[in-house]
Structures are given as C-alpha cells and as structure tokens.
C-alpha cells in the first residue's frame, strides 16, 4: 500500500463526489471509473483503486447509483454503474456544497 | 430511498452475504485483469503486470471487509454467520448433536410441563374481579384440632354485620347437593350449590342472562329460585335464552330460573349446575343449633385500602366478643382468614413445587451432561480455534462463536423440549388426581412459552460458558502446540469436565433420594390396612329429596325395598346402607360425653355415621364385643349405639364398654338423648389411609334416617356389572330417583393414595431419567480420560504392568469424582428432602434405608460406567497405543 499523501486524504472524503461526476457522463464499470479519475486528474489523484468499491456500494445503498451486469466490448462480464435520477440531483447539491467549501477555505487562506 | 427500503436492502444483503461476496470477487477479478492487461501493454512482463495491478488496487481482503461493512448490518451478519457455522459444526457431528438435543429436550420438556401445571394451579390469578381482596374465613378450635373449618350459620351472620373491615361476606354450603330435574323428558340429575344471596356480588360473578341473587334472598323461604351455570344451560336447556323466568321442577318442587351465569363463573366447582339460596328461616337465628352446626364456607371481600392484617385484627375483635357472648358454643371457638387464592391452592402447592424443583434438578443434570459434550466438541475443534487465534481472530469473537454454538444447541433442545412438554401436559392432566389441578386445565400459553425461552437461554449459557471462555483464553502458541496435535485438553477444561461430572452425581443423588423417600412412603401407605375389605364392593350414592321423603317411614320403606331387591340379585352376598363412605373424610363430627363422667375428661371430637344392619359383615370388619345392629334396633328405646375399638381403647381401657351410655352433647342436659353401647366394632380409616382412624360412634340408620345414603353391595364377581341391575331396581321402586355417584371400594382406596402416587410416579420418572443422564455423563468423562491416557497405558503395559493395575488407574480417577459427588449430594439431599416432610407418611425425610440404598446404587452405576472405558484401556495393544496421536 503506497504511503498516503495529503492530497490522497482529501480525495478520500470527496471520492463519492468524483464517482458521481464520472458516472454523470456515461455508465461505467469500476475499473473504468478508476482510469477516468486518474486520467482526468492527470495522475495527481493516485489512490488505492480498491477503495472505489466500498464507495460504490455506499452510493448504491443511498440510491444515487444503480448497477447491472453487462458484457463489455471484449465480450467479458462486468458490473456497470450508472447515475440514478436522485444521484443526478445529489451530484448538483454535492458540487454546490463542495464549491462553497472550497471558496470558504480559499477565503480563509486568502486573508493575510 | 425510504429508510425502510434501505433497511430491507441491508437486511437482504446481510442474508445474501455469500452471493454478494461472490459478486464482489468477480468485480475485483475483472478489475485486476484489466489493470494487468493495461500494464502488459505498457511493456511489463505478465508477472510484473499482475503484481503491479495488485499493489495499486490495495489490499483485496481489506476491500472485501470494507465492502461488507457498508453492505450489511454487521452484528446480524456476524450472528447469521455464527449460527451457520454452529449448525455446520453440529451437522458434522450428528451423534454428539443428537445426544445433546435429546438430553436437553428431556430436561426442558419436563421442566416446562411442570411449570405449565404450576402456572395453571398457582400462578394464574383467580377469575374474579379484584380477586386479591377476597379472603376465605374459617373457624379454628384447638380442642378439636380445627383449622379453617366450616363456619356456623349464626357466627357467619354476626361477622357479616359486625366486621367493618369487610365490604361484605358471602357463604356457601360446604359440599354440593343434588336435585332431580323433571318435566323435561327423562329425569336429570343436577348438581346444586346452596349460597347466600350476596354470593355473586361478593365474588363479582356476572350473569349472562337474567340476574344473580340479591342479599335479601338468603331469607326468602317462599319463592324457590335458581341460577343456572352456563354449562347446565347449554346441556339441559339447549342454550335457550327464554329459560329465564320459566318455572322448572327440581325434586318435584316448582322453581323459577332467574338467571344464567357467564361461562367463566364456575365457583366453587365446575361440576355445579345451578345455585340456589340458603332460604334460611329468620327464626332459626336465635336457636342454638344455628351456632353449633358448622356447614358454611365464608368468603369476605376486604374494603379497598384495608390490608389482610388490618382486616384480621378487626375480625379477631368480633370473634373474641362472640366467644364471651355465646360461651355454650363459642367458648374456645377461634377464627382465621387466608387469602382465597392461597386457600384454594392448598396442598397442591407443596406437591407442585416439589415437582418443579425435581424437574429443575433434572434440567441441571441435562445441562451438565451437555456441558461435557460441549467440551468434547471444543476439544475436537481446538486446532481450528488455535489457527484462528493465531491468524488474529479476536478472543471475544471466538467466545461469541462458541456461545452461539451452545445457544443454537439449547434452542434445538428447547424446541424439542417444548414439543415434549405439550405431550407432558396431556400426561399430567390424565395422571393428576381430581382437584389437584384447576378446572380450567393445564395449557401451554404465553407465560409458559416465555418460561421455556428463558430456561433454554439459561441452559445455553450455563453449559456453554466454560468452553466459551477458555477456548479463547488460551495463548495461541500453546493452543497450536497442544491443540494442533489434538491430544490434550487444557488443564482448565479437564477440571471443568470433572467438576460437571461431580455435579451430575450430586444432583442425581438428590433426585434419587427424593424419589426414594417418596417410594418408601407410598409403600408404607399402600400397606396400611384400611379397616375393611374393599374387594368386590360397589357403593351407590342416593339423595332422597326431602320434598317426597318427608317422614321416617317413607325413607325406611324405600331403604327396605331397595335392600330386599338388591340382596336378591345374582352374585350379591351382602347389601347394607351407610350414611358416609370411609376414606372420604365426609362423615359427621360432633362432641360427646359419657354418662357418669365429668365433662372435661373427654373433650374430644368424635366421628359419627349412621349404618344399617349387615354393614360391618359386608365390610368384613371384626366385632370385638357385643353385637351389631339388627332390623329391630330402629324402634328401640332407649336407643342403642356402636363404638369403634379406637374409642373403646381410649375411653374404656380396662372396662367393659357394653351397657355404658353416650350422648352427642359435650355438656349433657335434660334434653340430651342417650344411647346405650351394644357393641364394639373394628376401626375404619375415615379420612384417608394416612390419617389414623378416629374415634367413632355409629347409630342405626333407620332410627332417624338421612336421605343421603350409600347402598353397598358385595358380590362374587365384577361389582360394576351390578350397576345396570341396581339401576333398574331403583327405577322400579322410584322412577324419579337418580343415582348420584357410583364407586367401587377398591377405587375409593386408590383415590385415597392418588396424590401420593401421582407425586411419587413423576418424581420416580425424573429420578430415573436423571440417573441415566448422570451415568452417561460419568461414562463420557471416563471414556475421554481413558482415550487421553491410551498412550500412557500402552507404555505401562509394554513395561509389564498388569492389566489390573492399569484398570485401577482409570477407576481410581473415577473414584476421585464419585466420592466428592456422593458426599456433596448426600448433604444436599438431606437438606432437600426436608421439603418433603409434609407429604411423607411414616418415613423420615432422612430415611436411613433411602440414604444407604441411593448412594450405593449411584456408586455402583458410576463404577460400572467407568469400568467399561477402563477395561478397554487395559486391553490396549502397546504397539498400537504408542502410535496413537
């Protein structure tokens, strides 16, 4: 297990948000989500890929994410996750709340 | 999502844990394979790519745990997994699990069945509103050794008017009567109960049709009214609501039905068909007999807020005042009160509590036995437990696993026991003598179910706690070394097993001793000569109604006709009439005095019965002096009486009683009627086999005949075969007369021992099962010991030790458990059997025969149980034994 960097710690708290954002584009399997997050963050957010799965389970239990088994393009079985309607609503709320949080921190850091 | 939906999902996930685990594993595999492919395409070797994929995934096991954590209700998941593991472990050892479940089922079943009887007879409240405020009043007379006896009418009325602490007092006649219902098809016999007008009000009984009586109706001698029980209303009147207000004929007298009681009101007995009022004449209040005769049972309802003690204090003031006011009848007449519930439970309480305690001992033996089985089980699993400990499983988790296992086991035993208890209650209901259990019967209800659950859980904890605690306490290293080889139990576990065996021996000894003294007591009781020969005698009870048999000649004509016809029946050798049967405790009692002696020399209560000619010959009783009655005694003046030899010995020792005179007054006066003793006859046990024969005076039946009689016939064949013939004779003589009761004397004798036999039989069954379990338990411990020491035995044998010495080693070990078990058990049993004192007949609770025979039996059984494994060990082939691992 790689030593956790501060950035990774922050990510852990916001992993749910990142997953929701990723799934907002299209239904995807677990590995796909991990690749996407890594790719889009340009490798900065390099976390344990495994931690994705409990997070997905949590989101599914909240009803924000649905899942079903499908066949991939290479003809293999994989579990695909998709955003539900309430997930889409939650994404909006979570994003707004995240922005508020970031701007507040910005504000504090900005004051001399 | 709704919270409910979420819970449902979580529960389902928790229950479908295995499926969810599989799904996650597939997802993880897919992920790792894709990652590996990516790494390979980036130029890594297969192995490197796989390793790299693994590393960047993080710990697979941690992800699984985290996933489960999110997914399920953790304790529930643990519980279901524990239960599943436990079931699997039990299924793997079906013999062990089966033995444990059967053992527990026996213990729990016996305990639950007895508890349901205790619940029905003792714990359940009486079916009256605010029943806690009802008390039974009774009269106490130290001279006659009376305690809570029936009350005199005048005393009852004075209490009712003078004791302010009571809201009211009701009274009913002690014993029921019978009446013949005519005018609606065949004559039908009704069981009747005479009560005071306030009877229903005081008890809180509700009429479902019409009304109950009112207080004033106690004194109504002009209108005959009756209140039906729900049962009689349904069986005799087809549940016709129009019956209220109708006039029916009871013993030929027109009687108006004024109400029908609700089905739950059956006091004082469910056999009562109808209640009628006392119909006392106001003039009798001032007569002496009204304060001298005792025939009422009085029930008081306390005023709200008045305690039993306060009420009793107020009551005693009135009782003392009456003693001074009426010295002739009340000089030493005391009175007492007992809560109605306590009074009605009566002697049953001791018997049932003894049985509950006995079934509790049996359950403890069962628990100890299963505790030992669990040790064997734990021993078998030691390697697995050691491995789990070494791999970092928490000790609490393991403890919980073992405890779950014992609870699963006890639940299975509890379920089987509950089924057994259901059968048991049926058996108890069938076996229990009359009036031991309440009319409503014994049922399995919620409180019984709760009780079973409680004892089942307690058992599970009790026999599981030892293995549960120790299995986890062992240091993993030690456990692996020892347990890995599966040869040794921990020292503590071994000690626990032996302690259980000691406990089993001690408990079994207690049970067996209890059963032992009871058997000795029953044996003594069964060998008590009742004072008569009960074989082949039929007794038929008749109640000639006062209305139609209002004169002595009418009754005598009926009796004479009946006897003449009965004597003519084929097989009948004797026929006679008597007022009360022996062994039933129903005879009259009175004070008496002997002519020429000062009062005070003989302040005793005497039994009194009326007998016809031939009674003593029929009963095969000896005539010690003089003669018995003959037909002409009915008109003789002066009157003649017979006494039994107990009276003769006590009051005429060294004198000839024949020709002496007696009267039924304690202080004779000019109105006393004297009778001359013409004979001394044998003594019957009047009350029961256990009670010594009382002094008794007999008067000729025909002199002042009672309408309540028993016709007795002795026959050469089956006495019950006479019944149809007697019935047709009766129909010829008086077609309106029904037979009230029918008994054989053998049955009367058996009934007298019924309660003792019931208690003894059940206790004996418990003791036998307890002994069997204890012996099996000792065998189990010894078999384990022998197995554990096989290697040692092999070495000893190889080195030339004789087989006898090897066997002795094992048996000596058994003695090490047997001796403390016997000592502890004997001491505990000596204390425990004291509780039986009140139900024992002529046997001490510390009966030496029992306390020699029982420990010997137990010692012998235990030695046989340990001899078998010892013998096996001594036959061990040294070469093989050394290879045993």
Q: Which residues of B536-553 are buried (b: 16+ CB within 10 A; e: fewer)?
A: bbbbbbbbbbeebbeeee
CA-based nearest residue to B569, from B710, B713, B709: B713
pLDDT band at B476 (very low <50, low <70, confident <90, very high): low
Residues of chain A with C-beta less than 8 angstroms from the C-beta of B27: 29-30, 53, 78-79
Task: Give the angle B619-B623-B627 at the CA atoms, nearest 5°.
Answer: 110
Inter-residue contact B510 to B825 (CB < 8 Å): yes
Interacting residues of B851 by C-beta distance below 8 A, sequence separation 6+: B513, B516, B826, B829, B830
Q: Would you give the DSSP letter of residue B721?
A: G
Token digits of residue B634: 């009915």
Does any CB of chain A come closer than 8 Å to the CB of residue B28? yes
Q: Residue B318: what pLDDT?
A: 95
pLDDT > 80? residue B404: yes
Are A51 and B58 inside 8 Å of each other by CB? yes
Q: How many percent of chain A have pLDDT more than 70? A: 84
Angle at B764 between CA B763 and CA B769, to 5 degrees: 100
Rounded to 5°, angle at Cα B348 from B342 and B354: 115
Contact (Cβ atoms closer than 8 angstroms) between residue B561 and residue B568? no
Alpha carbons within 13 angstroms on the beta-carbon side of residue B484 total: 11
**CA distance between the termini of chain B:** 59
The structure tokens listed for A3 are 């030593």
Beta carbons of B115 and B443 less than 8 angstroms apart: no
Confidence of residue B666 (pLDDT cuts 50, 70, 90): confident
Residue B484 has pLDDT above 50, yes or no: no
Query: How far is it, in rounded angstroms, from Cα B80 to Cα B103?
Result: 25
Q: Which two tokens stand for residue B872?
A: 């096996």
- Reported confidence tier of residue B485, pLDDT bands at 50, 70, 90: very low
> B851 is written with which tokens?
């306390």
Average pLDDT of chain B, as a whole number: 87
d(CA B643, CA B694): 11
- Least confident range from B44-58, B667-681, B702-716: namely B44-58
B481, B799 Cβ separation under 8 angstroms: no
Average pLDDT of the segment spanning B562-576: 95
Nearest CA in chain B to A60: B71
B32-36, B577-581, B657-661: least confident range: B32-36
pLDDT at B477 over 80: no
10 Å CB burial of residue A73 (0-12, 13-18, 19+) is: exposed
pLDDT band (50, 70, 90) for residue B696: very high
Torsion angles phi and psi, residue B583, rounded to 5: 65, 15
CB contact under 8 A, A57 and B9: no
The whole-angstrom separation of Cα B88 and Cα B104 is 19
Per-residue pLDDT averaged across B853-877, rounded? 87
Lowest mean pLDDT: which of B215-219, B508-512, B736-740?
B736-740
* Residue B332 confidence (pLDDT): 85
User: CA-CA distance, B617 to B693, in Å (whole number)?
Assistant: 19
Alpha-carbon distance of B111 to B276, in angstroms, equals 43
Mutate to test the interface with A, among B31, B32, B33, B66 (most CBs of A within 10 A): B31
Interface of A with B (CB under 8 A): 1-2, 29-31, 34-35, 46, 48-51, 53-54, 57-58, 61-63, 76-79, 86
Tokens of B560: 């004479």
Q: What is the mean pLDDT of residues A33-56?
A: 80
Rounded alpha-carbon distances, angstroms, from residue B236 to B185, B229, B269, B277, B313: 10, 10, 18, 21, 46
Alpha carbon B590 to chain centroid, angstroms:
34
Taking only the tens place, the pLDDT of each residue in B37-76 is 888 988 888 888 888 888 888 778 778 877 877 776 556 6
| B35: nearest CB among A31, A48, A78 | A31
Extract the tokens encoding B287.
Answer: 């007569």
The full DSSP string for chain A is -PPPPHHHHHHHHHHHHHHHHHHHHS-EEHHHHHHHHHHHTTTS----GGGHHHHHHHHHHHTSEEEEEEE-TTS-EEEEEEE-HHHHHHHHHHHHHHHHHHHHHHHHHH--
The SS3 call for residue B405 is: helix
Q: Which of B3, B16, B52, B58 to mutate to test the interface with A (most CBs of A within 10 A)?
A: B58
Spatial separation of the C-alpha atoms in residues B260 and B241, rounded to whole Å? 9
Per-residue pLDDT at B706 exceeds 90: no
Are the CB atoms for B300 and B133 separated by under 8 Å? no
pLDDT at B479: 53
Q: What angle (nearest 5°) sits at the alpha carbon of residue B128, between those of residues B421 and B118?
A: 20
Phi, psi dihedrals of residue B785, rounded to the nearest 5°: -60, -45
Cα separations (Å) of B406 from B8, B471, B598, B679? Answer: 29, 13, 76, 73
Q: Which residue of B has its CA nearest to A59?
A: B70
> B402-431: string of b/e by CB count within 10 Å (b at 16+)?
bbbbbbbbbbbbbbbbbebbbebbeebbee
Question: Which of B30, B60, B64 to probe the A interface (max A CBs under 10 A)?
Answer: B30
Cα(B246)–Cα(B566) distance, rounded to whole angstroms?
A: 39
Looking at residues B494-522, what average pLDDT do you find? 92
* Neighbour-count burial of A29, counting CB atoms closer than 10 A to its CB (0-12 exposed, 13-18 middle, 19+ buried): buried
Which position has the token pair 């509890």? B414
* Contact status, residue B595 vs residue B674, Cβ threshold 8 Å: yes
In this structure, the number of other CB atoms found within 10 A of the CB of residue B204 comes to: 16
Considering only the beta carbons, identify the residue of A49, A61, A63 that sits closest to B31: A49
In angstroms, rounded to a whole number, what is the distance separating the alpha carbons of residues B601 and B618? 35
Q: Give me the interface pTM, i.e. the ipTM.
A: 0.85
B23 and A86 in contact by Cβ < 8 A? no
DSSP annotation of B530 reads -
- Residue B22 pLDDT greater than 80, yes or no: yes
Instruction: Give Cα separations from B473 to B86, B394, B476, B478 (angstroms).
Output: 20, 10, 9, 11
Q: What is the pLDDT of residue B158?
A: 95
Q: Which region among B120-124, B344-348, B466-470, B768-772 has the lowest average model confidence (pLDDT)?
A: B466-470
Cβ contacts from A onto B, under 8 A: 69
CA distance A37 to A48: 12
Structure confidence by residue, pLDDT tens digits, B305-346: 999 999 999 999 999 999 999 988 888 899 999 999 999 888
């Amino acid at each position: 297990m790689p030593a956790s960097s501060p950035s990774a710690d922050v990510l852990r708290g916001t992993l749910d948000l990142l997953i929701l954002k990723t799934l907002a584009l299209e239904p995807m399997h677990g590995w796909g989500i991990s690749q996407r997050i890594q790719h889009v963050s340009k490798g900065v957010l390099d976390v344990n890929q495994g931690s994705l799965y409990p997070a997905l389970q949590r989101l599914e239990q909240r009803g924000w994410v649905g899942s079903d088994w499908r066949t991939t393009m290479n003809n293999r079985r994989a579990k695909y996750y998709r955003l539900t309607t309430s997930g889409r609503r939650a994404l909006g709320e979570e994003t707004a709340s995240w922005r508020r949080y970031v701007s507040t921190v910005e504000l504090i850091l900005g004051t001399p | 999502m709704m919270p409910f939906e979420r819970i449902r999902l979580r529960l389902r996930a928790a229950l479908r844990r295995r499926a969810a685990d599989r799904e996650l594993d597939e997802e993880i595999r897919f992920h790792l394979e894709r990652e590996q492919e990516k790494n390979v395409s980036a130029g890594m070797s297969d192995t490197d790519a796989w390793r790299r994929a693994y590393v960047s995934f993080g710990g697979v096991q941690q992800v699984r745990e985290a996933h489960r954590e999110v997914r399920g209700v953790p304790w529930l998941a643990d519980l279901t997994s524990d239960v599943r593991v436990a079931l699997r472990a039990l299924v793997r050892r079906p013999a062990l699990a089966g033995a444990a479940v059967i053992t527990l089922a026996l213990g729990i079943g016996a305990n639950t069945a007895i508890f349901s009887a205790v619940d029905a007879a003792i714990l359940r409240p009486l079916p009256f509103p605010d029943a806690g405020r009802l008390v039974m009043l009774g009269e106490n007379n130290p001279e006659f050794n009376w305690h809570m006896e029936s009350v005199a009418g005048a005393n009852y009325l004075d209490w009712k008017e003078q004791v302010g602490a009571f809201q009211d007092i009701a009274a009913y006649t002690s014993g029921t009567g019978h009446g013949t219902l005519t005018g609606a098809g065949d004559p039908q016999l009704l069981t009747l109960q005479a009560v005071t007008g306030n009877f229903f009000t005081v008890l809180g009984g509700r009429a479902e049709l019409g009304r109950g009586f009112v207080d004033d109706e106690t004194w109504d001698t002009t209108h005959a009214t009756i209140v039906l029980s729900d049962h009689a209303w349904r069986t005799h009147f087809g549940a016709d609501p129009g019956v209220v207000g109708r006039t029916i004929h009871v013993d030929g007298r027109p009687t108006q039905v004024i109400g029908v009681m609700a089905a739950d009101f059956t006091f004082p007995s469910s056999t009562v068909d109808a209640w009628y009022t006392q119909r006392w004449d106001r003039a009798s209040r001032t007569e002496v007999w009204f304060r001298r005769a005792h025939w009422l049972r009085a029930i008081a309802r306390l005023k709200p807020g008045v305690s039993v003690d306060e009420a009793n204090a107020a009551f005693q003031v009135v009782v003392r005042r009456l003693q001074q006011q009426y010295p002739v009848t009340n000089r030493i007449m005391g009175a007492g009160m007992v809560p109605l519930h306590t009074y009605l439970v009566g002697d049953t309480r001791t018997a049932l509590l003894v049985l509950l305690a006995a079934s509790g001992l049996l359950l403890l033996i069962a628990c100890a036995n299963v505790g030992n089985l669990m040790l064997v089980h734990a021993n078998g699993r030691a390697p697995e437990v050691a491995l789990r400990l070494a791999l970092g499983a928490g000790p609490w988790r393991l403890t919980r696993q073992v405890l779950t296992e014992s609870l699963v086991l006890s639940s299975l035993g509890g379920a089987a026991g509950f089924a057994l208890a259901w059968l048991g209650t049926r058996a108890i209901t069938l076996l229990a003598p009359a009036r031991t259990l309440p009319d409503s019967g014994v049922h399995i209800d919620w409180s019984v179910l709760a009780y079973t659950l409680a004892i089942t859980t307690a058992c599970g904890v009790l026999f599981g706690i030892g293995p549960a605690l120790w299995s986890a306490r062992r240091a993993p290293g030690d456990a692996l070394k020892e347990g890995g080889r599966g040869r040794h139990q921990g020292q503590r576990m071994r000690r626990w097993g032996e302690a259980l065996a000691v406990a089993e021996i001690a408990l079994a000894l207690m049970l067996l001793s209890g059963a032992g003294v009871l058997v000795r007591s029953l044996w003594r009781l069964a060998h008590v000569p009742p004072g008569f020969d009960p074989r082949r005698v039929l007794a038929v009870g008749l109640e000639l109604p006062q209305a139609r048999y209002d004169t002595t000649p009418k009754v005598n004509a009926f009796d004479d006709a009946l006897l003449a016809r009965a004597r003519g029946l084929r097989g009948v050798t004797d026929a006679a009439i008597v007022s009360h049967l022996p062994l039933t405790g129903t005879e009259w009692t009175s004070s008496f005095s002997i002519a020429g002696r000062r009062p005070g020399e003989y302040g005793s209560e005497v039994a009194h019965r009326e007998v016809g000619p031939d009674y003593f010959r029929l009963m095969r009783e000896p005539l010690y002096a003089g003669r018995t009655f003959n037909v002409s005694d009915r008109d003789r003046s002066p009157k003649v009486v017979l006494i039994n030899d107990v009276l003769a010995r006590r009051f005429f020792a060294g004198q000839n009683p024949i020709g002496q005179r007696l009267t039924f007054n304690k202080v004779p006066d000019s109105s006393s009627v004297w009778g001359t003793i013409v004979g001394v006859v044998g003594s019957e046990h009047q009350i029961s086999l256990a009670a010594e024969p009382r002094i008794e005076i007999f008067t000729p039946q025909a002199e002042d005949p009672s309408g309540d009689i028993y016709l007795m016939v002795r026959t050469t064949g089956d006495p019950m075969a006479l019944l149809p013939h007697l019935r047709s004779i009766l129909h010829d003589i008086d077609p309106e007369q029904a037979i009230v009761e029918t008994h054989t004397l053998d049955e009367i004798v058996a009934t007298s021992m019924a309660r003792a036999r019931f208690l003894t039989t059940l206790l004996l069954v418990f003791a036998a099962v307890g002994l069997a379990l204890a012996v099996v338990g000792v065998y189990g411990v010894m078999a384990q010991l022998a197995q554990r020491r096989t290697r040692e035995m092999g070495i000893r044998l190889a080195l030339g030790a004789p087989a006898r010495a090897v066997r002795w080693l094992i048996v000596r070990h058994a003695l090490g458990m047997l001796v403390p078990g016997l000592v502890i058990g004997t001491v505990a049993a000596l204390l425990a059997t004291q509780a039986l004192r009140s139900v024992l007949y002529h046997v001490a609770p510390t009966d030496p025969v029992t306390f020699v025979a029982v420990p010997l039996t137990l010692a012998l059984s235990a030695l046989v149980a340990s001899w078998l494994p010892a013998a096996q060990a001594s036959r061990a082939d040294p070469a093989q034994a050394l290879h045993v691992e």
